[in-house]
Every structure is written in C-alpha cells, then in structure tokens.
Amino acid sequence: MAYKPPITGTVLFLSLTALLAVACIVLAKYLYLYSAASDQNPQIEFYKKSGELALQLALVVIIGGLLKLLIDWGTSQRARHIARQEQRNEFLKRVRKIHVAIQNARDLMNAHGSAKTWGEQSRRLMQLRSEVEEIIEDLKASVFRFRCQ
C-alpha cells in the first residue's frame, strides 16, 4: 500500500504539545532557580512548588502527546486493515457473480438441449468474457491481496 503522509491535525497537535512542554520546562527552570537563589520564605516556597508543578505539567503534556500519536497510529492501521478487507470482499463478490453466471449458463445449456438456449447462453458467456479478463488482470496486479488470510 502506498505511503500516506501524516494527518495535518496530528502534526499540528504534536507541534503545539512540544511547544507547550518546552514552555513548561523553561518556566519550571526559572521558578526553581529563582527559589534556590533566595531565602526561605513562603513566597519563595510558592515559586519552588510552582516550578515542580510546571515540570509535572510538562511531563503530562509529553505523555499525552505520545499517547495521542499512538492512538492515531492504531486508528489509521485499523482503517487501512478495513479498507484492505473491503477490497478483498469486493473482489470475491465479483468472482462469485461471474461464477454463478457461468454455472447458470452451463446448467441451462445441459438442461435444455435446444439450439436457441445454447445460442442465448453462449452470447451471455461471451459478454462475461470481458469481466473475466478484468478479474484476471486484477488478480495479477494484486498478488498480495490475499496474503493475510
């Protein structure tokens, strides 16, 4: 199957996630450095705790972005699997349709020995020849279509 580029929304989301994570890390660094350079008072402890909270937020943002990427990948894999399955089912329906038409023509030719029936069914089979050739070409072109079965 041909390569599909990533979804623009996913790329945009991951870019914003990375930007937010970097901003949280930078904020945490400055808050932590500010609290370390000052004396121990409640306001400095607040900055220190805010820095720790910003680091935790950055970690949550990074993990959330990675989880979204994983979920999007799994969803796209599932969609490709369903599309391949639908292609196989459509191909098998086409083969079944031709098979039934040929079998019906054969049965009619055997049941009714008249020249009229033979002529009608022979014309019908000749009309199906192009569809049979299309199926043969599709089968040659898609060697790996039934690989997963």
Domain that residue 124 falls in? 8-141
Domain membership of residue 146 (yes or no) is no
- Report whether 131 contacts 94 (CB < 8 A): yes
Predicted pLDDT of residue 98? 93
Count of domains forming the chain:
1
Domain membership of residue 61 (yes or no) is yes
Residue 149 DSSP label:
-
pLDDT tens-digit profile of 78-131?
998 898 889 889 999 999 999 999 999 889 888 888 889 889 988 998 999 999
What whole-number distance in Å separates Cα of residue 26 and Cα of residue 45? 18
* Exposure string for 69-94, b = 16+ CB within 10 A, e = fewer: beebeeeeeeeeeeebeeeeeebeee
Domain membership of residue 1 (yes or no) is no
Domain membership of residue 107 (yes or no) is yes
* The model's pTM: 0.57
What whole-number distance in Å separates Cα of residue 124 and Cα of residue 108? 12
Predicted pLDDT of residue 20? 81
Domain membership of residue 148 (yes or no) is no
